[in-house]
Amino acid sequence: MGATRPMPRTSLQRHYCAALSAYLMNPGEGARMRAYEIGRDALAAGQSIPDVVEVHSLALQELSTTTDTRAGMQAVIASAGTFLTEVLSPFEMTHRGYRDSLTAWRHINETLEEEIRRIAYALHDESGQLLVSVHLQLARLARTVPAAESGVRTCQALLDQAERQLRDLSHELRPMVLDDLGWLPAIEFLATAVAARAKVPVDVRSSVTRRLPAAVEIALYRVVQEALTNATRHARASRILVEIGAEHGCLQCVVGDDGVGFAVDAAALQGLGLKSMRERLGALGGALQVVSAPGCGAQIRFELPLD
Amino acid sequence: MAEEVQILVTCDKDVVTARQQGRATALAAGFSNSEATLVATAISELARNIVSYANRGTVTVARLNGHKGAAGLKIVASDAGPGIADVAQALRDGYSSSGGLGLGLPGVRRLMDDFDIASVPGSGTTVTVTKWLK
């Protein structure tokens, strides 16, 4: 991508060709080590595996002219394969590193989600219970001290408000319907709440109804939640549609609106919470795309592997 | 139970010898060609550290015909160099020249099954890695 390349392709090409030629002549450990060094340098210089394979292929074409027998050609092809394995072996270290990071990333997400769930339940159940007790005590107080009645009523109204806020907060953190009934009822519930709050109809259509792996359900819910927040906050839409389907072992979801749209440029993409959506999806091997233009509404499209 | 070969490592030529020994031992133990290549890669990474930080050291390659049928290969890279002050940091990706690419010690750890490091600042470093035949 934007990495600096202290070893440009032409230089890599030249080194590669010389080293492969030396290896074909004398396939010893020294020549293999050179192959490994070339791979390591190419990796450090930001070259990709396809870059290296292309360089390999060009070098092989160049060197294949040195033999004109079929047996000679077969020997060259076999040796060149071994050479390429050596060149690519440093990439294996990087590859395994990324795999480890992905596992760690997933684990962090799960831990975070578990923590959020714990807080949501504590807010809903424990604090909720406490408020109920306060209500009862206040009612008793009002009975025994009639003079305090109007003050008590004010307290009760405030308590009701606090209760509502707790319930909303708890639901926002972790909708219990997600655990109890699954992702689709949770998203439908969310759509109803968003529609009521923003006074915009939000339709949910899904050809998938079965329960999904827990991590997928949470990611799906969160990304739809974020996308709906964007649509109601910025789009001035008259209608929002959430469509969910599955194809090729992938869950596909589109959150679209018929609002004002925007030019899809770097600046617009920064402010839309896309980073957190992408991170959430990326941890599960998913991807996200934004489709919009001024005056043409906007669509957030994403997919998640289902395996 | 273990046949060991120790190679003195002071320059690139010795690294070649250590790689060769590691590859031959891996193949003899029953590892595939590509696994043997990864063993050679791990040896290169370990030997590279010896040459660049300690100037000299040893790489010992041992074939393990362990009890209960566990078989594999053990590599011990040892030097009496400056040692590593912060081992945890050295094992993190992004430390030293390898940037975030996971080369060096983190890479070696991922190529092998078991990884153990003992380092004392001022008196040297010993890295012991094992790869088991599956």
The pLDDT value given to residue A7: 53
Predicted pLDDT of residue A223: 94
Average pLDDT over residues A27-54: 93
Q: Do A33 and B17 touch (CB under 8 A)?
A: no
Amino acid at B62: A
User: Mean per-residue pLDDT for A21-48?
Assistant: 93
Average pLDDT over residues A150-165: 91
Q: What tens digit of pLDDT does each residue of A249-283 get? A: 899 999 999 988 888 877 667 766 788 888 889 88
Please report the pLDDT score of residue B95 as a whole number. 59
DSSP helix, strand, coil percent of chain B (3-state; round to 5): 45, 30, 25
pLDDT in tens, A287-302: 999 998 888 899 999 9
Partner-chain residue, chosen from A29, A89, A92, that has the shortest CB–CB distance to B20: A29
Rounded CA-CA distance B81/B84 in Å is 9
Question: Is the Cβ pair A90, B41 closer than 8 Å?
Answer: yes
Q: Which two tokens stand for residue A141?
A: 């107080």
Would you call A163 exposed, middle or buried from its count of C-beta atoms within 10 A (0-12, 13-18, 19+)?
middle
H-run or E-run covering A112: helix A70-121
Percentage of chain B lying above the pLDDT 70 cut: 90
Among A33-47, A220-234, B63-77, B85-99, the least confident range = B85-99
Sign of torsion over alpha carbons A93, A98, A102, A108: positive
- Confidence (pLDDT) at A39: 95
pLDDT tens, residue by residue, A176-198: 888 888 999 999 999 998 899 88
Round to whole Å and give the CA distance between B82 and A127.
57
Give start and end residues of each alpha helix (H) in A122-239.
128-144, 149-173, 176-180, 183-198, 214-234
* Interior angle at CA A132, CA A130 and CA A136, nearest 5: 115
Q: Which chain A residues are within 8 Å of B38, Cβ to Cβ?
A: 89, 92
* Chain A, nearest residue to B22 by Cα: A29
Q: Is the pLDDT of residue A246 over 70?
A: yes
Interface-testing mutation among B37, B38, B91, B108, with chain A (most A C-beta atoms within 10 A): B37
- Asked if B96 has any chain A CB less than 8 Å from its own CB, the reply is no
Query: Residue A5's pLDDT band (boundaries 50, 70, 90)?
Result: very low
Residues A12, A38 contacting (CB under 8 angstroms): yes
What whole-number distance in Å separates Cα of residue A240 and Cα of residue A235?
Answer: 10
Question: Going by C-beta distance under 8 Å and a sequence separation of 6 or more, which residues neighbour residue A63?
Answer: A17, A20, A21, A24, A76, A80
Q: In this complex, do B101 and A85 lie within 8 Å of one another by their Cβ atoms?
A: no
* ipTM of the predicted assembly exceeds 0.90: no
The average confidence (pLDDT) of chain A is 88
Q: Are strands B71-79 and B57-65 parallel, antiparallel or unpaired?
A: antiparallel
What's the pLDDT score for residue B65?
83
Shortest CA gap A107–chain B (Å): 18
Q: Which two tokens stand for residue A152?
A: 């008590």
pLDDT band for position A93 (cuts 50, 70, 90): very high
List of residues 6+ apart from A295 with CB closer than 8 A? A260, A261
Q: What is the pLDDT of residue B127?
A: 96
Q: Which residue of B has its CA nearest to A30?
A: B16
Alpha carbon of A89: minimum distance to chain B alpha carbons (Å):
6
What pLDDT score does A1 carry? 41
How is A116-131 classified by DSSP, letter by letter?
Answer: HHHHHHIIIIIIHHHH
Q: What pLDDT is stored for residue A239 in this prediction?
A: 94
CATH 3.30.565.10 fits A176-305, yes or no: yes
* Cα(A59)–Cα(A51) distance, integer angstroms: 12
Cβ–Cβ gap A89/B101 under 8 Å: no
How many CA atoms, within 13 angstroms, populate the side-chain half-sphere of residue B119?
21
CB of B30 less than 8 A from some CB of A: no
The pLDDT tens digits for B6-34 are: 999 999 999 999 999 999 999 999 999 99
When pLDDT is cut at 50, 70 and 90, the band that residue A174 belongs to is confident
The CA-atom distances, in angstroms, between B37 and each of A9, A35, A77, B93 are: 25, 11, 18, 22
* Side-chain-facing half-sphere of B5: CA atoms under 13 Å: 15
The domain locations on chain A are 9-101, 103-173, 176-305
Q: What is the 3-state secondary structure (H, E, C) of B65-93?
A: ECHHHCEEEEEEEEECCCCCCCHHHHCCC
Q: What is the pTM of this model?
A: 0.72
Coil vs helix vs strand at A17: helix
Using an 8 Å CB-CB cutoff, list chain B residues near A33: 12, 15-16, 19, 40, 44
| CA separation for the pair B111, B104 (Å, rounded) | 11
Q: What is the pLDDT of residue B62?
A: 95
Which positions ≥6 away from A73 have C-beta within 8 Å? A64, A67
Least confident of A61-70, B108-117, B122-131: A61-70
Whether residue A93 and residue B107 make contact (CB cut-off 8 A), yes or no, is yes
A219-235 pLDDT, tens digit per residue, is: 999 999 999 988 888 88
- A150 Ramachandran zone, left/alpha/beta (phi>0; psi -120 to 50): alpha
Give the pLDDT score at B115: 95
Residue ranges and CATH numbers for the domains of chain B are: 2-132 (3.30.565.10)
Assess B20–A contact: CB distance below 8 Å, yes or no: yes
Which residues of A sit within 8 Å Cβ distance of B? 28-30, 32-33, 36, 40, 43-44, 82, 85-86, 89-90, 92-94, 96-98, 100-101
